[in-house]
Structure 1
Amino acid sequence: MSAAAAHLRQELFEGKFAIGGHRGSGMNILGTAHPLTAQYHKLHPTNLAIRENTVPSFQRAAGNGASFVEFDVQVTKDKVPVIWHDDQVCFRQGEAQVQQRPVSSFAASEFTSLRRADSPVQLVRRKITAAGFSDTEFDDWTVETEAPLPTLTELLQTVPESIGFDLEVKMTTPSAQLATEPEEIDRVVQPILSVVLQARQHSFRKMLFSSFDPEVCQALRERQQDVPVFLLSTGPISLKPHSDQRRNTVSAAIDWARKADLQGLVLDSSCFKTEPDAPRAAEQLGLVTLTYGIANNVPEWIQHQRQLGVAAVVTDNLPVIVQSASS
């Protein structure tokens, strides 16, 4: 393990990344670039104050007390890392039918111009039904204040260095496919690493990588030694379990992260309702546990995770969680 990774692990366990200088919680609280949107991942609102994953939304998260911000990075067809959460970009122009395209089908200039002031494109999101996300029904996706869709380079240049980054490397490999093809891993990982490692030559920003794709985590770990790498896993609660057990079985995730020499895991905290010993089991193997999920918008559940040995939590409900941790 590199000295930088070991230092990050120590700081996480000691709570030194805790928000706003308040370390009473003994736990780091990571914001997201989804501005004040509780329960975003399952019940996304259709009207927000600021478009998510834009520079103003990062500034909002920082202003609400986050020392770290979590976001998803994808790569365009001309090999430019950009910030986008969903698997598809869904949009319409005028009365035309909704188009659904992956980020990899856009050139960077085309992607970033989607939110240009004179753009005729209207972004939409798949409607949420009882069975999950619909493929045929859509909600308008409007915000009070628009902002350009940024590249990773732009974020690194414009967001203050005091704000750490949790870069989730987003892969859209179908769940029925056991492993991502090596060519696709290279297509995504190499441009992201190039931008990050270039930025680190003149920046002291704290950063970590995370991904649901184990092979992506392994590639990130093998190709650099300074930025810690964490495996994301849903645990057993996923609505659409993946065929790769490392993605939805906590024990398999812990075992593989140790064998791959990763620094830790990011788990859906709801899995601790049935597997409360997981954070301590991971810690005994030298792994740091971070969490995400809807349950992380509840202050009492955050405090309970601290007792379980969780080092840091990602939450959308930042102001409430910050106030609770600081009291």
Structure 2
Amino acid sequence: MQLSARSVNLHREQCSIWRSNRTSSHSIRAEPRATMTVPEPVELTRTTSRSEILKSDDTCAMIIGHRGYRANRSPDENVRENTVHSLHEGHRAGASFVEFDVQITSDGVPVLWHDDSVTTLVNNSEVISREVSELTLAEFRTVTSGRSVSHGGQEHQLVRQFKCQRGMEDAQPLPWTCPEDQHSNPATLQEALVGTPNDLGFNIELKFDSVRSSTVEERMAHLSTVLRVVNDFASDRPILFSSFDVDACLEAKSMQDCYPVFLLTCMEKEHHDPRRHSLKAAVDVVLGGELDGVVAYSTYLFEETEQIARLKQADLPLFTYGEANCDPAVVAAQIHAGATGVITDSIQRCKDTLRCLEEDRFSYPQVSVAAKQAVTAAA
């Protein structure tokens, strides 16, 4: 399927209906980017069908490793997230797919990076944050190494506000060292594709600023850059795309039909885009835009079980993500309700849960109560 010039004007009328007026502010962000030139068309030669995505060794549901093996929730974890090492560890642990975010450096290289910015402690005194799009690949590699490095005549140490600091008053970002994995850098998309087994599926999240509304030109440049790398290096690897950015999902689907596109939803009722307020809104978009599935935040999933039925009726897959997906009761309840894939930081625990489900060793009424309690605790 060709990525054509018409994509630049992709469903302008349709997208204008979907879009809402979005205004917000952010404490740390780059100046608005200059208008980008949309790259030349790309001819995609690979394909992954929706049914292929749902085929896996996991009988009850697909297990998807979060940022490879697991997200880093403390500064000294054994495996650094979003590295080739992390992807390998996810595969070794038994995940059918791994999930990761892709952002684009200033010199046009897709890299695996989750956070909205790259934050460093400069000269052990000042914390600065820059978007990935402000850094060249060389700069990105330097400042994300996890070691104290010299850059631009100053000492930089990668830092992050970790989940383990939640609830701490005036908590400062901590050095993100991963001392046992210091030689693993966040991967480029090309490195991820060529450096891991082809039977490991990739759930590639297309990452955009969650506060500032992206432009058509930005999304097209991002999508076409990622698609080029996928086309050149994916071989026969199963791949799906996902994004919280509704317009990016609709455009990615219109630009190509080789790979499934899933809409991510956090069901965040205060978000400036009403299409992200609920699972119902997400299902409406997926059905109306002929997308291929939904990835929903597990914490609020049980508040809208009727939407799971809508997806089932349309024969569309439902994946979930969130900290609650480390809890066996929550995972079991989701699968019983109709979830077909679970993005998790606890791959082995999920595999054990699936085994129990297959052997019918769960009592679902009890699971439902436990699940609600676990979800409440996770929130």
TM-score over 0.5 (shorter chain): yes
One-letter identity of the residue aligned with 1:149: P
Matched, 1:9 2:54: no
Measured after TM superposition, the shift of residue 276 of structure 1 is 1.7
* Aligned CA distance change for structure 1 residues 95 and 195 (closer, same or farther; 3 Å): same
* Aligned CA distance change for structure 1 residues 88 and 95 (closer, same or farther; 3 Å): same
In the alignment, structure 1 segments of 5+ residues that lack a partner are none
2:214 corresponding residue in structure 1 = 180
Partner secondary structure for residue 276 of structure 1: helix
1:155 corresponding residue in structure 2 = 192
1:300-319 equivalences in 2 (<5 Å): 300-319=329-348
Partner secondary structure for residue 58 of structure 1: helix
Q: Which one has a larger percent strand, Structure 1 or Structure 2? A: 1
Matched, 1:277 2:311: no
2:225 corresponding residue in structure 1 = 191
Larger Rg: 2
Q: Is the 8 A contact 2:75 2:162 kept in 1?
A: no
Q: Is the 8 A contact 1:71 1:85 kept in 2?
A: yes
Q: Is the 8 A contact 2:158 2:176 kept in 1?
A: yes
Q: Is the 8 A contact 2:68 2:99 kept in 1?
A: no
Measured after TM superposition, the shift of residue 168 of structure 1 is 0.3
Q: Is the 8 A contact 1:258 1:287 kept in 2?
A: no
* Aligned CA distance change for structure 1 residues 10 and 155 (closer, same or farther; 3 Å): closer
Distance 1:242 1:133 in 2: 25
87, 91, 101: which one pairs with 2:130? 101
1:27 corresponding residue in structure 2 = 61
One-letter identity of the residue aligned with 1:152: L
* Aligned CA distance change for structure 1 residues 70 and 110 (closer, same or farther; 3 Å): same
Distance 2:169 2:339 in 1: 30
Partner secondary structure for residue 49 of structure 1: coil
Measured after TM superposition, the shift of residue 122 of structure 1 is 1.5
1:210 corresponding residue in structure 2 = 242
Partner secondary structure for residue 150 of structure 1: coil
Distance 2:126 2:148 in 1: 20
Measured after TM superposition, the shift of residue 126 of structure 1 is 2.5
Distance 1:261 1:157 in 2: 31
Measured after TM superposition, the shift of residue 131 of structure 1 is 7.9
Partner secondary structure for residue 50 of structure 1: coil
One-letter identity of the residue aligned with 1:29: I
Partner secondary structure for residue 198 of structure 2: coil
1:70 corresponding residue in structure 2 = 99
2:181 corresponding residue in structure 1 = 145
2:149 corresponding residue in structure 1 = 119
Partner secondary structure for residue 325 of structure 1: helix
**Per-residue displacement from partner, 1:173-205 (whole Å, max 9, x unpaired)?**
41xx5x4211221231121111112224xx110
* Aligned CA distance change for structure 1 residues 29 and 268 (closer, same or farther; 3 Å): same
2:90 corresponding residue in structure 1 = 61
Displaced runs of 4 or more, over 4 A: 127-134
**Per-residue displacement from partner, 1:148-174 (whole Å, max 9, x unpaired)?**
221101111101101100000110141
Distance 1:248 1:287 in 2: 20
1:211-230 equivalences in 2 (<5 Å): 211-230=243-262
Distance 2:142 2:322 in 1: 31
Measured after TM superposition, the shift of residue 8 of structure 1 is 2.6
Residues matched between the structures, number: 303
Distance 2:120 2:95 in 1: 31
Q: Percent identity?
A: 32
Measured after TM superposition, the shift of residue 118 of structure 1 is 8.0
In the alignment, structure 2 segments of 5+ residues that lack a partner are 1-45, 151-155, 357-379
